[in-house]
């Protein structure tokens, strides 16, 4: 069935027809870039026959095609949010109404939303424009809604990527059967709600730093009649008792954290897990395709303003997890959509994130 | 669009031009989509004869719409040229190189 590039929930922003048309246009550009332009850039990079990603980058900067590739990768993300029909441009004008919607939901089942008005947001979180979203995702109601809508087109080849989060929830289900789950860096509940649907009998708690995102996650849970708790706290200082969870999960969290914070978060996850409990994160790690894969992915981190993507790839996660008190560490590629791993460890045929699942057990 | 610290093109003017081209293309796409939507709506309701658009003339509401729309459209198209920091830098450079005014 034909549908707009972005789907709008019942309660949320009012998007005029022009925004839908414009977002479709941006997605169209992104798809052409993901397939055709990426494929040609990869071919040019292979022809260089170099085995150092920095040397490939230096040579490729002379390529006219690569210059356009880089520009488009950087600016197409901004075009989603900015410009006349960009999500932030449109949603900022609705901020008051959107804040009222979130407050209304916050009054429903208030015991399930625990915010910390005294929380000092860490510098690493507030200093940059998260995913090139101007002003980040932590100050206004419109930030949360723009983040929710914008995330639908981050990976346009598997649009409406709820499927990704459901697949991850199923992966966790194949791993263990927890009674209490903590979903770290839950944002607007993109993984937390599929986890609750997959583990209907479990108590599911989401934590995040962003007040508007937590309020939106709570609103979505109330709408779907899913009893989920949301708590505002950093992953490096979890506001939960020792040994109080059977599983700690997360998606796309670790690459947003500086290495020192990753280490603290691992120790905290170990603290709140019961012995034998599962720690599992879906993130980006170990890009396939050798030096060209690294050249493509490291370049993305620079162009999309993701300062901790490369440092995460360079962290020896097995050692880090073991020294934080974990055992049975397993790190393996994750198939985010059917057939995504068809090329194995070779360079993917179209641009994709190096989705990886990290699993360990509390010793 | 916020300008990147990373320079993608050998000639930075190309980046500005790309900004204009994509903004323009975006507007054209929105317009095409709206036009298509309108045509389908009118066709479905059987309210529009083939020459009705030409015959419609410029009613005052349309004139007011055009006046507002042209400003919005021009701003969206040309905004990428307005990188004030770089413009200021170039201006300062030019002034510093300018010969002393003749007495």
| pLDDT tens, per residue, chain A with 363 residues | 345 566 666 678 988 888 988 998 998 889 999 999 999 999 999 999 999 999 999 999 999 999 999 999 999 998 899 888 999 989 999 999 999 999 999 999 999 999 999 999 999 999 877 778 888 899 999 999 999 999 888 777 766 555 899 999 999 999 999 999 999 999 999 999 999 999 999 999 999 999 999 999 999 999 999 999 999 999 999 999 999 999 999 999 999 999 999 999 999 999 999 999 999 999 999 999 999 999 999 999 999 989 999 999 999 999 999 999 999 999 999 999 888 999 999 999 999 999 999 999 999
Of B6, B10, B33, the CB nearest to A303: B6
Enter the tokens of residue A302.
């620079």
Over range B26-34, report the average pLDDT: 89
Which of B6, B13, B23, B26 would best serve as a mutation to test chain A binding (most A beta carbons within 10 A)?
A: B26
Residue closest to A203 by CA, chosen among A174, A226, A186: A226
Q: Enter the tokens of residue B4.
A: 């990147």
- pLDDT tier for residue B4 given thresholds of 50, 70 and 90: low
Say how far apart CA A68 and CA B8 lie, in whole Å. Answer: 7
Question: What DSSP element (H or E) covers A355?
Answer: strand A355-362
pLDDT tens, B48-91? 876 776 676 667 887 788 778 888 877 776 677 665 444 445 45
CB contact under 8 A, B23 and A26: no
**What confidence score (pLDDT) does residue B33 get?**
87
- CA–CA separation, A173 and B50 (whole Å): 60
pTM: 0.86
* Chain-centre distance for alpha carbon B88: 22
Instruction: State which residue of chain B sits closest to A57, comparing Cα positions.
Output: B8
Q: Over chain B, what is the mean pLDDT?
A: 73
Structure tokens at A150: 């914008």
Tell me which of B2, B15, B19, B41 to substitute to probe the interface with A (most A C-beta atoms closer than 10 Å): B2
- Give the domains, in start order, of chain A with CATH numbers: 1-363 (3.40.50.150)
Please name the residue that has the structure tokens 């989920």: A228
Place of tokens 């658009």: B53
Q: Which residue has the tokens 């995330």?
A: A151
Distance (Å) from the alpha carbon of B6 to chain A's nearest alpha carbon: 8
Residue A129 with chain B: CB contacts under 8 Å: 2
A33 lies within 8 A of chain B by CB: no
β-bridge partners, A125 = none
pLDDT at B92 (0 to 100):
58
């Amino acid at each position: 069935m034909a549908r707009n590039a972005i789907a709008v929930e019942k309660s949320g922003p009012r998007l005029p027809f022009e925004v839908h048309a414009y977002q479709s246009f941006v997605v169209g550009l992104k798809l052409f870039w993901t397939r055709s332009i990426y494929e040609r850039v990869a071919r040019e990079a292979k022809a260089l026959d170099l085995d150092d990603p920095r040397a490939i980058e230096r040579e490729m900067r002379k390529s006219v095609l690569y210059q356009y590739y880089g520009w488009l990768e950087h600016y197409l993300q901004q075009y989603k949010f900015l410009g006349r029909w960009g999500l932030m441009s449109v949603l900022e004008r609705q901020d008051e109404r959107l804040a009222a919607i979130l407050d209304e939901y916050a009054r429903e089942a208030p015991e399930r939303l625990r915010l910390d008005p005294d929380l000092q947001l860490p510098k690493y979180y507030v200093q940059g424009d998260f995913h090139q979203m101007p002003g980040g995702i932590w100050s206004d109601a419109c930030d949360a809604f723009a983040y929710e809508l914008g995330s639908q087109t981050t990976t346009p080849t598997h649009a409406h990527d709820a499927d990704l989060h459901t697949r991850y929830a199923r992966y966790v289900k194949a791993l263990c059967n927890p009674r209490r789950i903590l979903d770290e860096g839950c944002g607007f509940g993109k993984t937390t709600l599929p986890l609750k649907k997959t583990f209907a009998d479990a108590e599911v708690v989401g934590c995040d730093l962003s007040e508007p995102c937590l309020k939106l996650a709570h609103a979505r849970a109330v709408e779907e009649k899913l009893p989920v708790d949301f708590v505002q706290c950093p992953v490096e200082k979890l506001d939960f008792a020792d040994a109080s969870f059977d599983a700690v999960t997360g998606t796309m969290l670790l690459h947003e954290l500086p290495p020192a914070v990753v280490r603290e978060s691992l120790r905290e996850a170990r603290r709140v897990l019961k012995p034998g409990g599962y720690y599992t994160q879906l993130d980006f790690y170990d890009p396939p395709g050798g030096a060209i894969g690294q050249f493509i992915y490291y370049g993305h981190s620079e162009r999309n303003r993701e300062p901790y993507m490369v440092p995460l790839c360079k962290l020896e996660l097995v050692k880090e997890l073991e020294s934080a008190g974990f055992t049975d560490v397993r790190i393996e590629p994750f198939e985010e959509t059917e057939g995504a791993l068809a090329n194995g460890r070779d360079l993917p045929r179209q641009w994709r994130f190096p989705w990886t699942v990290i699993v360990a057990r509390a010793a | 669009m916020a300008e990147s610290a990373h320079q993608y093109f050998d000639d930075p003017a190309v980046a500005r031009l790309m900004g204009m081209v994509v903004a323009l293309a975006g507007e054209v796409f929105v317009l095409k989509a709206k036009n298509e939507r309108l045509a389908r709506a009118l066709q479905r309701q059987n309210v529009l004869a083939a020459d009705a658009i030409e015959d419609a003339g410029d009613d005052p509401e349309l004139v007011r719409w055009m006046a507002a729309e042209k400003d919005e459209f021009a701003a969206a198209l040309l905004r990428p040229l307005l990188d004030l920091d770089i413009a200021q830098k170039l201006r300062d450079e030019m002034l510093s190189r300018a010969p002393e005014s003749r007495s």
